[in-house]
Amino acid sequence: MKVALLGVGQAGGKITERLARFDADMGFGAVQGALAVNSAKPDLKSLEFVDTQLIGADRVNGHGVGGDNELGTEVMQSDIQQVLGALDGRVTSKAEAIFVVAGLGGGTGSGGAPVLVHHLQQVYDVPVYALGVLPGRNEGALYQANAGRSLKTLLREADATLLIDNDAWHEQGESVEGAFETINDRIARRVGLLFASGEAVEGVGESVVDSSEVINTLRAGGVAALGYASEVASEDSAENIRTTMSVSRQALLTGTSLPDATTAEAALLVIAGQSDAIPRKGVERARRWLEDETGSMQVRGGDFPLDSDRLGALVLLGGAERSDRIEAFMDRAREAKQAQETESTDHADAFADDRLENLF
């Protein structure tokens, strides 16, 4: 699937750069253009592999919006024409989808991404998806509250929102900050593989997954999640059938970007590996298992010939919002928002009796 990528904020920019670099290193040619947008100049300066666009210079002078996602929304709204202008020509007629990438817990990405998705929907005919990073459980209340509002708005604006939980794709015991590199690398490889799965890869044969299958899986809208697992392939075909089942199970049950997301309206199973190591019988068996497990009647499947000694399963879930993890996250976001409101009311109350007059 040919995509244009737009990273907003620090996490958005870094992940966009990783995705573009992975796609180029692998020679997939799925990423058609990549642009990073931020209100913080130093964050843009650290990117080497993507084009950049500064926003909000008149408001925040290149210093970023801190954790203020309402300000993030405002600066994106004010400078939207510049961003769309910078995109002109980058979203070529070849792009089959646009992905807006952002960390949902911060300020610029959290507040800016939904605005950008909204405007892209007016301009382009192709689907506009969000790729959003949810703050981990131990990130502060402000992150949770910001992400809750951002997610709510993205779900309204985007054709689908692929969520990566910051607690999902790193090793146990690693702090979230220390784990960013690992997480970003996994996002780049896994989402990068998803983009590339609809592309024919030169030298390793034809892909049998079509871009339209990715788009149809995401047509359910709402929340999407991605799972991945791989194991070393064998010379023995019976063994590869077992491995295909095993990696598919792990991809869904322990390897998703949104832990506990196992029910979905639609799903896509892509088995990646050497063509002759991918067992037809194994792929079909795994596809049927996925149907049972997700409760979806719409489970598409295909293989992705890749020059690798491993067999990998990539599972894309569409319409996966009924997960415990999403419920728990939304509860946390609501609590954090309420706590913020109580706090600010208390501050105002403390001055309510003051006999000094307000300025206006």
**Smaller CB distance to ligand GDP: residue 139 or 293?**
139
Q: How far is the CB of 138 from ligand GDP (least distance, A)?
A: 10
d(CA 75, CA 60): 9
Q: How far is the CB of 25 from ligand GDP (least distance, A)?
A: 19
Q: Which sign does the torsion angle of CA 4, 268, 249, 148 carry?
A: positive
Q: Any binding-site annotation on 10?
A: yes
**Smaller CB distance to ligand GDP: residue 67 or 198?**
67
Q: How far is the CB of 148 from ligand GDP (least distance, A)?
A: 12
* Sheet-wide strand order for 160-165: 51-54, 31-38, 3-8, 97-103, 128-134, 160-165, 223-232, 310-318, 266-273, 298-305
**Smaller CB distance to ligand GDP: residue 200 or 328?**
328
What are the Cα distances from residue 245, in Å, to 12, 237, 254, 287?
Answer: 34, 13, 14, 9
| 62 conformational bin, left if phi > 0, alpha if psi -120 to 50, beta if neither | left
- What secondary structure letter does DSSP report for 357? P
Cβ-contact 184, 246 below 8 angstroms: no
Interacting residue ranges for ligand GDP, rule: CB under 6 A: 9-12, 14, 103, 105-110, 133, 135, 139, 143, 166, 176, 180, 183-184
Which element (helix H / strand E) includes 331?
helix 324-350
Q: Any binding-site annotation on 139?
A: yes
**Smaller CB distance to ligand GDP: residue 188 or 267?**
188
Q: How far is the CB of 132 from ligand GDP (least distance, A)?
A: 9
Q: Any binding-site annotation on 106?
A: no
* Token pair listed for 102: 């952002």
Q: How far is the CB of 109 from ligand GDP (least distance, A)?
A: 3
Q: Any binding-site annotation on 312?
A: no
**Smaller CB distance to ligand GDP: residue 167 or 303?**
167
Q: Which residues are known binding-site members for GTP?
A: 10-14, 107-109, 139, 166, 184
Q: Which residues are known binding-site members?
A: 10-14, 107-109, 139, 166, 184
